[in-house]
Amino acid sequence: MSVEQVTCGEHTFDVHLGGDPADTPVVLLHGFPQSPHCYDAVLPRLHAAGLRTIVPAQRGYSPGARPTGVEDYRMPHLVGDVIALLDAMDVGWAHLVGHDWGAAVAWQVAARHPNRVSSLVVASVGHPVAFADALRNDSAQKESSSYMQLFAQPGKAEDLLLADDGRRLRAMVATGGQTAEQVAASVEPLLEPGALTAALSWYRAMRGEDYRECPAVEVATTYLWSTGDTSLGRTQAEASRRHVLADYRFVELPGVTHWIPEEAAAELAAEIVLRSSPW
């Protein structure tokens, strides 16, 4: 594994690379509060299956790609970053994986740029339209997403989450039973000056139209959802199949929490390998 800096326009991303460069490429997108290290237990399984992995620290998480304006974190910019990364690395197409916010971006990339995506594997977050509908109409999802109201408050959210050396951030990640090393890999980069505000800007830049207007996905898709997820409910999960106009596989992980890449690495890796197989 290596970490390289890849420049895409005015931003430079830290990108974790692994596997044989000649192998089939897989791009994996992380969520909040995470880093590329959330896939550490997934990647060796993909390399053993003959896959090349590309795991960027996304906008706001890479020090060289940390603009200060909230509007800089609108969904079109996040989607554009993925396409710009493929272009900069001369990757014509890739299998795409995402968890949490990374899943929200991955759905959009696959829907809007199907010519660049061979298959899609997403974990936790359902199709943007399904999530938007649940957030508007499902009382359980409204309650589960109420934390976003706090994250949208500049200053207050930072003060709360950074207090006591990021104690609440660490507790959030640790709910999935991660080791202290896994928790530190996710949280400590967010303790750098300006990093948490940049990550929270993803929430502050959310616009309903970015979700409601997302097209259906027309590439083969696997969606993993876990019954122990307290943030993403069954309503948005089960509704997502209506927004995939291609081969679709729904995988329910009983008892697993929201942190699928860390807690169910073997299951996630198996689904990625299955989607990336040529047969």
Q: Which two tokens stand for residue 144?
A: 């589960």
pLDDT for the residue numbered 197: 97
Closest CA to 224 of 247, 258, 186: 258
HSE, side-chain direction, 13 A CA sphere, residue 171 = 9
Number of structural domains (the chain) is 1
Which of the four pLDDT bands, split at 50, 70 and 90, describes residue 183? confident
Mean pLDDT in residue range 140-163: 92
**Does 173 have pLDDT greater than 90?**
no
Chain segment 38-72, per-residue pLDDT in tens: 999 999 999 999 999 999 999 999 999 999 999 99
Q: What is the pTM of this model?
A: 0.96
Q: What is the largest CA-CA distance in the chain?
A: 51
Please state, as a whole number, how many other Cβ atoms lie within 10 Å of the Cβ of residue 185: 19
Cα separation, 260 vs 253, in Å, equals 9
Identify each DSSP E strand in 24-147 by its residue range.
24-29, 51-56, 94-99, 117-123
Cα separation, 166 vs 188, in Å, equals 8
Chain segment 104-150, per-residue pLDDT in tens: 999 999 999 999 999 999 999 999 999 999 999 999 999 999 999 99
Domain that holds residue 162: 2-276
Which of the four pLDDT bands, split at 50, 70 and 90, describes residue 6? very high
pLDDT for the residue numbered 279: 63
Strands 117-123 and 221-226: parallel
Check if the beta carbon of residue 154 is closer than 8 Å to that of residue 204: yes
CATH number of the domain bearing residue 14: 3.40.50.1820
**Average per-residue pLDDT for the chain:** 94
**Does 175 have pLDDT greater than 80?**
no
